[in-house]
């Protein structure tokens, strides 16, 4: 048993992520205006404070992105309803709102990759800011249906890399995590599957998507992704880990077999969409090891879970992908390394 804030026995055995005792750390009641739900925040450090770019869904059903700041990243949030990104309904790509931002800091610029809910379906958009007051739209990066995208904070031989999740319109083919390249942050290509969804009974069968932006570690880029298991009671969104080569992020060095965090606390199990944990941001502490992951819980509130980076790396390196069935294309079933 790992933790027991809810008074119920947890089935979560890994104990790698620890929910903050004051979870949920942000709810709709904390927001100045009347809103339905607050969830799936992007996260970064700005002016020495933790800054969350929170997906706020009002009673129209559409979402915008509102800034919330806090000195300790846990409490005393400052929320200005006017500070943030509002959907520009004159733009087709934001027709039904903007959602699920991932923030990548490059120098003193913050690149925000978010889902635009266009009249043609969800797609991947980019905006940038230096102050989280003024936001510059940089256009659509990927056409529908595509979401769960983030940029790496560095270029590779002069090229930007975007992780994203297009969905195939053909039934049964699954929704996999892809990687695309760009010279100008505008035109993307040289696209390939990075992390395929598994099949059958796996926790990450048929549908996976990136969580927070990739995090550079001594072992490579750490990736946290969600996997969606479909059950007769609905979908369960859980999180797993993978590691990418530092110089060539198309090389998957390791992928965990097991999920490392899933919906167990009552606020994760029940809400507008039950059984969802959905992080879009994480922040590494000054000690270089304490990772704070901010996540939407049940599409309704925001939770904080902390983990040891070293612990996560050890886990992904020692719980390698079982590809004995050869289900995962691109991985050698014997060595469990990319072919
Ligand atoms: C995904 C995204 C998220 C959402 C999740 C669970 O497809 O749209 O915004 O949190 O579903 O509903």
Residue 321 has pLDDT above 90, yes or no: no
Backbone phi and psi for residue 141, each to the nearest 5 degrees, phi listed first: -95, -30
Of the ranges 1-15, 268-282, 323-337, the best mean pLDDT one: 268-282
Distance CA 211, CA 242 (A): 11
Q: Does any domain span residue 214?
A: yes
| Residue 10 placed within a domain | no
- Report the domain count for the chain: 1
Three-state secondary-structure class, residue 46: strand
Tell me how far apart the 2 most distant CA atoms of the chain are, in Å: 56
pLDDT band at 262 (very low <50, low <70, confident <90, very high): very high
Token pair in block for residue 223: 């990736």
**For residue range 99-143, what is the model confidence (pLDDT) as tens digits?**
999 999 999 999 999 999 999 999 999 999 999 999 999 999 999
338 domain residue, yes or no: no
* Distance separating alpha carbons of residues 339 and 324, to the nearest angstrom: 14
- Residues within a 6 A CB radius of ligand 1: 40, 99-100, 237, 273, 276, 278, 296, 299
From ligand 1's centre to the CA of 73, what distance in Å?
Answer: 24
What does the pLDDT read at residue 3?
45
Domain of residue 94, residue span: 16-316
CA 51/CA 43 separation, integer angstroms: 6
Report the atom number in ligand 1 closest to the C-alpha of 237: 6
Atom of ligand 1 nearest to the CA of 276: 6
More confident call, 21 vs 330:
21
Per-residue confidence at 173, pLDDT binned at 50, 70, 90?
confident
- The CATH number of whichever domain residue 217 belongs to comes to 2.115.10.20
Rg (CA), the chain: 19
Nearest-angstrom CA–CA distance, 51 and 70: 7
Does a structural domain hold residue 8? no
The pair of three-digit structure tokens given for residue 144, joined into one six-digit string = 């529908």
pLDDT digits (tens, 9 = 90+) for 51-91: 999 999 999 999 999 999 999 999 999 999 999 999 998 99
| Spatial distance between the Cα atoms of 80 and 185, rounded to a whole number of angstroms | 30
| Residue 196 near residue 174 (C-beta atoms within 8 A) | yes
d(CA 318, CA 20): 26
Residue 293 lies in a domain: yes
**Residue 2 in domain:** no
pTM: 0.94
**Secondary structure of residue 135 in the 3-state scheme:** coil
- Residue 127: partners with Cβ closer than 8 Å, 6 or more residues away: 85, 111, 112, 114, 135, 136, 137, 138
> 23 lies in a domain?
yes
Q: Percent of the chain beyond pLDDT 70?
A: 90
Flag whether 7 is in a domain.
Answer: no
> Distance from the CA of 4 to the center of ligand 1, in angstroms?
26
Tokens of 14: 């890994």
- DSSP annotation string for 204-268: TBSBEEE-SPPEEETTEEEEEEEEEEEETTEEEEEEEEEEE-SS-TTSEEEEBSS-SB---SHHH
**Of 171 and 56, which is predicted with more confidence?**
56
Read off the tokens for 9: 């026995």
Q: Are 50 and 72 in contact (CB under 8 A)?
A: yes
């Amino acid at each position: 048993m790992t933790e027991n804030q809810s008074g119920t026995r947890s089935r979560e055995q890994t104990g790698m992520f620890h929910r903050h005792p004051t979870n949920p750390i942000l709810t709709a009641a904390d927001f100045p205006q009347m809103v339905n739900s607050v969830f799936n925040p992007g996260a970064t450090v700005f002016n020495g404070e933790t800054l969350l770019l929170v997906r706020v869904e009002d009673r129209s059903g559409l979402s915008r992105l509102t800034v919330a700041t806090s000195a300790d990243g846990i409490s005393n949030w400052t929320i200005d309803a006017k500070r943030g990104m509002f959907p520009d309904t004159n733009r087709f790509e934001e027709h039904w709102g903007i959602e699920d931002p991932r923030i990548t800091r490059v120098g003193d610029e913050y690149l925000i990759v978010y889902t635009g809910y266009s009249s043609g379906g969800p797609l991947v958009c980019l905006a940038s800011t230096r102050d989280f007051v003024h936001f510059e739209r940089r256009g659509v990066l990927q056409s529908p249906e595509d979401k769960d995208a983030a940029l790496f904070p560095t270029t590779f031989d002069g090229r930007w890399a975007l992780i994203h999740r297009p969905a195939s319109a053909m039934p049964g083919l699954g929704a996999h995590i892809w990687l695309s390249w760009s010279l100008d942050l505008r035109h993307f290509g040289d696209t390939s599957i990075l992390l395929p969804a598994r099949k059958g009974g796996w926790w990450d069968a048929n549908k996976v998507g990136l969580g927070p932006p990739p995090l550079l570690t001594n072992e490579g880029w750490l990736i946290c992704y969600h996997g969606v298991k479909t059950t007769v009671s609905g979908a369960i969104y859980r999180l797993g880990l993978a590691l990418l080569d530092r110089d060539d992020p198309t090389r998957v060095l390791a992928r965990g077999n097991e999920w490392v965090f899933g919906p167990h606390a009552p606020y994760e199990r029940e809400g507008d969409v039950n059984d969802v944990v959905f992080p879009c941001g994480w922040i590494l502490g000054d000690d270089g090891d304490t990772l704070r992951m901010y996540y939407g819980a049940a599409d309704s509130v925001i939770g904080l879970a902390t983990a040891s980076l070293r612990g996560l790396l050890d886990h992904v390196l020692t719980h390698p992908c079982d590809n004995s069935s050869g289900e995962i294309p691109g991985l050698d079933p014997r060595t469990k390394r990319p072919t």
